[in-house]
């Protein structure tokens, strides 16, 4: 039976981890993810888990220790934000290339500079092509649910890739919401025990992890990673279906909100989707046919499904909480527009950069975006496709 509680996103992630009871958790603090290992350390001290909790000297060390533990056959994870993720950059690629199914609880925060501790997606978007699965949450409930599902996805025999569970810094990580938790034994049964096939401490199967790869083998290793990523979408859907059976909460690769007859749509990731839903509800009451497509799984990118969901839309705004510095927009914009192009979509598309460094996104702002889309459809011309929302010019 579900248990109702009021928790911050960081607390929710820590409780999910307590219920999972991982083998190894190396950690180094950085705002706004510090509370996750802080809460978890109290569970260790109280004997509520038997996890080996390792305080390390840096984020590079925390990911290195998680990689070593995973390679040895342990279920491992760490947590970080912003510059902490940048500091472990080298190790991100090593974890993925070694096909290690470890987890990273990432609390999204702007990367320096200038120094800023608030939310945007520049940290995880910078690591989008490191070979990790990336799943994002709109709210605290989704952060908890994604963490419960994470190991089932990453440890699947057809996947075996590391997974990044992302939530918005302070907006969800520190804000308190009403939510439902599963019983401990339900989570335990759902996640199951980790049973790796090959690992360093297996005396019956000597092996090397991370050996030097000469020209004859490197491309095959990279293709092997790509093959694992090809299976992720179906595994995410299968795990979500099973999760719905114990929680009653349904998840997919993305969420379609009031898209059934939408003529104008917004595509985005993260907490601002909640604000956008309020704008959509208000506009729907005025007879406007507007909708939202909220991305949950960003890597791998479910391009075909997204293009199909946007079929019939006249105009679409892709919202990026990270700048791409391409002079054409942000990373999500590039991915969505590529998907639309491949699907030969007739939708007129624009890309907005918004919410950098934690700048507020209001309901009125999103209503304004839909007004622009309506005008674009009327004019039959997208105009400037690379725009900023809410900036002082």
Task: Summarize pLDDT for 336-353 with one digit per residue, the tens.
Answer: 999 999 999 999 999 999
Closest CA to 22 of 44, 48, 54, 51: 51
What is the C-alpha R_g of the chain?
A: 21
Q: What is the distance between the alpha carbons of residues 137 and 119, in angstroms, rounded to a whole number?
A: 13
What's the whole-number average pLDDT of the chain?
97
Q: How big is the CA angle at 300 (ends 388 and 93), to the nearest 5 degrees?
A: 95
Give the pLDDT score at 210: 86
Q: Considering only residues 205 and 156, tell me which one the structure prediction assigns the higher pLDDT.
A: 156
Alpha carbon 192 to its chain centroid, in Å, reads 22
- For residue 300, is the peptide bond before it cis, meaning its omega torsion is within 30 degrees of 0? yes
The pLDDT-based confidence of 179 (bands split at 50, 70, 90) is very high
Q: What is the mean pLDDT of residues 369-389?
A: 97
Cβ atoms within 10 A of the Cβ of 227, count?
A: 11
pLDDT, tens only, 68-120? 999 999 999 999 999 999 999 999 999 999 999 999 999 999 999 899 999 99
Domains, the chain? 3-247 (3.40.50.970), 254-388 (3.40.50.920)
Does the pLDDT value for residue 1 go beyond 80? no
Residue 201: is it exposed, middle or buried by C-beta count within 10 angstroms (0-12/13-18/19+)?
exposed
Q: What tokens appear for 366 in the block?
A: 């999103």
Pair 104, 165: CB distance under 8 Å: yes
Give the pLDDT score at 343: 97
Give the pLDDT score at 112: 93
Q: What is the distance between the alpha carbons of residues 180 and 368, in angstroms, rounded to a whole number?
A: 34
Q: What is the mean pLDDT of residues 174-202?
A: 96
Q: What is the mean pLDDT of residues 179-184?
A: 98
Q: What is the mean pLDDT of residues 34-56?
A: 98
Residue burial 112-133, b: 16+ Cβ < 10 Å; e: rest: eeeebbbbbbbbbbbbbebbbb
Question: Hunting for tokens 């080996």 — which residue is that?
Answer: 52
The pLDDT-based confidence of 206 (bands split at 50, 70, 90) is confident
Give the pLDDT score at 207: 87
pLDDT, tens only, 228-242? 999 999 999 999 999
Give the pLDDT score at 274: 98
pLDDT, tens only, 240-296? 999 999 999 999 999 999 999 999 999 999 999 999 999 999 999 999 999 999 999
């Amino acid at each position: 039976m579900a248990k109702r509680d009021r928790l911050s996103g960081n607390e929710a992630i820590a409780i999910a981890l307590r219920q999972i009871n991982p083998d190894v958790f190396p950690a180094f603090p950085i705002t706004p993810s510090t509370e996750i290992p802080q809460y978890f350390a109290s569970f260790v001290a109280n004997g509520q888990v038997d996890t080996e909790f390792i305080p390390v000297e840096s984020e590079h060390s925390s990911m290195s220790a998680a990689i070593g533990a995973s390679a040895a056959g342990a279920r491992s994870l760490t947590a970080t934000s912003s510059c902490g993720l940048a500091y472990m950059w080298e190790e991100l690629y090593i974890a993925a290339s070694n096909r290690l199914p470890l987890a990273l609880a990432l609390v999204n925060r702007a990367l320096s500079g200038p120094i800023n501790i608030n939310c945007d997606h520049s940290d995880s978007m910078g690591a989008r092509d490191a070979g990790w699965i990336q799943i994002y949450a709109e709210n605290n409930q989704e952060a908890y649910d994604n963490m419960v599902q994470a190991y089932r996805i990453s440890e699947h025999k057809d996947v075996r890739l590391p997974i990044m569970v992302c939530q918005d810094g302070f907006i969800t990580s520190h804000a308190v919401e009403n939510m439902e938790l599963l019983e401990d034994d339900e989570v335990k049964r759902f996640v199951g025990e980790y049973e790796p096939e090959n690992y360093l401490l297996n005396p019956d199967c000597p092996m090397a992890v991370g050996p030097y790869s000469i020209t004859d083998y490197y491309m095959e290793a990279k293709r092997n990673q790509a093959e694992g990523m090809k299976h992720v979408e179906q595994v995410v859907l299968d795990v979500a279906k099973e999760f719905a059976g114990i929680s009653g909460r349904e998840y997919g690769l993305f969420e379609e909100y009031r898209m059934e007859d939408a003529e104008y749509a917004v595509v985005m990731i993260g907490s601002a989707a909640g604000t956008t839903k309020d704008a959509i509800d208000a506009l729907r009451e005025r007879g406007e046919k507007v909708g939202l497509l909220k991305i949950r799984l960003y890597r791998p990118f479910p391009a075909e499904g997204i293009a199909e969901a946007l079929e019939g839309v006249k105009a679409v705004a892709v919202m990026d909480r990270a700048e791409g510095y391409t002079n054409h927009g942000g990373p999500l914009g590039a991915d969505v527009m590529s998907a639309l192009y491949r699907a030969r979509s007739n939708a007129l598309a624009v890309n907005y950069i918004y919410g950098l460094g934690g700048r507020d996104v209001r309901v009125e702002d999103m209503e304004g975006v839909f007004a622009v889309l309506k005008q674009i459809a009327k004019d039959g011309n997208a105009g400037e496709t690379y725009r900023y929302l809410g900036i002082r010019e």
